[in-house]
Amino acid sequence: TKGAVLALTADCRELGFLCGADDSAVYQVNTEDKPQELMQLTRSWPDQLATHPCGLRAVSDGLEVRLLDTEGRPVRVLGEHPSTVAGMAFDGVWPCRTTTESACGR
């Protein structure tokens, strides 16, 4: 990354991590390659990160949560939440077969 790491989580599908940095970017980091930028936020820094084994990823920045597909493309924006998103997790019953079918490759 080009700045300080603000958020870090294991990437459930890849051998590596997702990293949110103070340059407003989210990176995929592994042991074999240089960090790859997945997305650049325009409003603020990435606060929270979450991943799902089917490849979905979620990034929060302030009041919004962005859901990304397996390639890092935005699928949906969830928000504006009434306050800053302080934590995220996929609960294990995420419907990967329905509205995000193309994102999960199923």
43-89 confidence digits (pLDDT tens):
889 999 999 888 889 999 989 999 999 888 889 999 888 999 988 88
Give residue 58's identity as a one-letter amino acid code.
A
- Structural domains in the chain plus CATH codes: 5-104 (2.120.10.30)
Q: Strand 64-68 to strand 36-40: parallel, antiparallel, or no bridges (unpaired)?
A: unpaired
Peptide bond into 80 cis (omega under 30): yes
Matching residue, tokens 């999960």? 104
What pairs with residue 85 in β-bridges? Answer: none
pLDDT of 14 reads: 73
Task: Please tell me the pTM assigned to this model.
Answer: 0.80
In this structure, of 20-24, 39-43, 48-52, the range with the lowest mean pLDDT score is: 39-43
pLDDT of 49 reads: 96
